[in-house]
């Protein structure tokens, strides 16, 4: 496994690749295992929740998502895991159904580190995709962080950046200059 350089929105050469409409992947393709492993490692190293192939210079329809474990503090002060971490590897993902309801979420991107803005997203989405073997899969009514990450990453595969989804650009801010803790970037 190797860390890959994440392309940046604010670099004109990188942005040309980030704005590309990615090509579908023909599966199975064993040569992609290394790319998937590298992308997962790169995403975790950057404390991201997702990473799309074009963000590492590969204009193909592939994204990875890592939802962190959820913990809850008990009355006695102990902390227990209430939901395990989950990882997703999606080839050729398509949103096939949406909630029809929007929610504004604070969102960031590994291609613009430290910057966050309010982005309208569907409250849930159903996504069809293929796994690395080419088998068809479906995530039904994915909401919360997973639903948001799916929408963000699938946007990347179509050359759409989160900054283009922001309706009120005054919400876009550099939190590295703020004193409160960083929310997790999406991708």
Q: How many whole angstroms separate alpha carbon 66 and alpha carbon 183?
A: 15
Q: Give 176's pLDDT tier (boundaries 50, 70, 90).
A: confident
Confidence (pLDDT) at 185: 61
Candidates 12, 101, 153, 178; catalytic one: 153
Buried b (16+ CB within 10 A) or exposed e, 116-147: bbbbebbbbbbbbbbebeeeeeebeebeebbb
Report pLDDT digits (tens) over 48-87: 999 999 999 999 999 999 999 999 999 999 999 999 999 9
Q: In this predicted structure, what is the pLDDT of residue 2? A: 93
| Residue 153 annotated in active site | yes
What is the DSSP secondary-structure string of 48-73? -SEEEGGGGT--BSEEEEEEPPEEEE
Q: Please state the pTM of the whole predicted model.
A: 0.91
Class of domain 12-67+85-177: alpha beta
Rounded CA-CA distance 142/161 in Å is: 21
β-pairing, 173-174 vs 124-130, is: unpaired
């Amino acid at each position: 496994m190797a860390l890959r350089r994440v392309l940046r929105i604010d670099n004109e050469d990188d942005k040309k690749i980030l704005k590309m409409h990615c090509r579908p992947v023909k599966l199975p393709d064993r040569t992609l295992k290394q790319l998937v492993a590298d992308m997962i490692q790169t995403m975790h190293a950057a404390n991201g929740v997702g990473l799309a192939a074009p963000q590492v210079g590969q204009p193909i329809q592939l994204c990875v998502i890592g939802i962190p474990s959820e913990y809850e503090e008990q009355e006695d002060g102990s902390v227990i895991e209430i939901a395990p971490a989950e990882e997703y590897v999606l080839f050729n993902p398509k949103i096939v159904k949406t909630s029809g309801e929007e929610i504004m979420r604070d969102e960031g991107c590994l291609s613009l580190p430290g910057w966050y803005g309010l982005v309208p997203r569907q409250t849930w989405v159903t996504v069809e995709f293929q796994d690395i073997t080419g088998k068809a899969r479906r995530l039904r009514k994915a909401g919360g962080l997973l639903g948001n990450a799916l929408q963000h990453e699938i946007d990347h595969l179509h050359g759409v950046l989160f900054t283009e989804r922001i309706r009120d650009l005054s919400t876009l801010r550099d939190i590295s200059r703020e004193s409160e803790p960083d929310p997790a970037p999406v991708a």
